């Protein structure tokens, strides 16, 4: 279409050139010069117009492709596209999607309940273990229930055992990092005091 417009403008330029030279009765040389100028001007204008039309057409096509791609994605995901209506396939896809999400949510709730039960069982076992154990290590400043549990897991169940521990080895066994404020040496000293009290 742009090419046709360009050719039309060239022809129009030639025609205007001849009409202008005829009306003003200029010589043939001026007539040819003006005609040539109008031909060049028509060609330039035709080229520019063609380029603009092609550019607009390309952008319009790209926009249609983008909108078409988004519309396809929305239909695949079960979203209703305005003006496009909703087919029964889309309704079924949306219903399946919602059923799957419901099932996933139900499964996650079951898993959470199972984890809660396991935690409660472990807590009960730990409390029973604490009650039956002869030495309560949490009386030592700096040792709470967590560190008491860790100490018992690595074999330190009494004040006497803790009093005889090597500080560096105990730190490695508990995996104490340098940045943590855990003073194993004071634990050992306090454990010695508690062990002497029990004797």
pLDDT digits (tens, 9 = 90+) for 43-52: 777 777 777 8
Question: Which among 191, 186, 192 is positioned nearest to 171, based on CA atoms?
Answer: 186
* Cβ density class 88-98: b for 16+ within 10 Å, e for less: eebeebeeeee
| pTM of the model as a whole | 0.34
**Cα-based angle 45, 48, 51 (whole degrees, multiple of 5):** 145
> Under DSSP, is residue 47 helix (H, G, I), strand (E, B) or coil?
helix
Show Cβ contacts of residue 142 under 8 Å, excluding neighbours closer than 6 positions.
182, 183, 186, 187
Token pair 């100028």 is at which residue?
37
pLDDT of residue 185: 93
Say whether 25 sits in a helix, a strand or coil: coil
- pLDDT tens digits for 74-128? 554 544 444 445 556 778 888 888 888 889 888 999 999 998 889 898 888 876 7
Q: Domains, the chain, ranges and CATH? A: 2-79 (no CATH), 135-199 (1.10.150.20)
Q: Is pLDDT of 33 > 60? A: yes
């Amino acid at each position: 279409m742009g090419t046709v417009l360009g050719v039309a403008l060239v022809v129009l330029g030639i025609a205007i050139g001849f009409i202008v030279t005829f009306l003003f009765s200029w010589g043939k040389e001026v007539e040819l010069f003006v005609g040539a100028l109008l031909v060049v001007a028509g060609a330039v204008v035709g080229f520019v117009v063609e380029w603009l039309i092609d550019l607009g057409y390309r952008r319009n096509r790209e926009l249609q492709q983008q909108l078409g791609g988004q519309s396809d994605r929305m239909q695949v995901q079960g979203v209703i596209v305005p003006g496009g209506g909703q087919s029964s396939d889309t309704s079924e896809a949306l219903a399946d999607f919602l059923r799957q999400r419901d099932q996933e949510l139900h499964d996650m709730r079951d898993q959470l309940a199972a984890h809660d039960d396991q935690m409660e069982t472990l807590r009960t076992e730990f409390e029973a273990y604490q009650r039956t154990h002869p030495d309560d290590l949490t009386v030592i400043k700096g040792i709470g229930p967590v560190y008491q549990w860790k100490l018992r897991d690595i074999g330190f169940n009494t004040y006497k055992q803790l009093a005889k521990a090597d500080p560096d080895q105990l730190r490695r066994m508990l995996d104490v990092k340098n940045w943590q404020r855990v003073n194993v040496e004071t634990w050992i000293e306090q454990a010695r005091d508690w062990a002497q009290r029990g004797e």
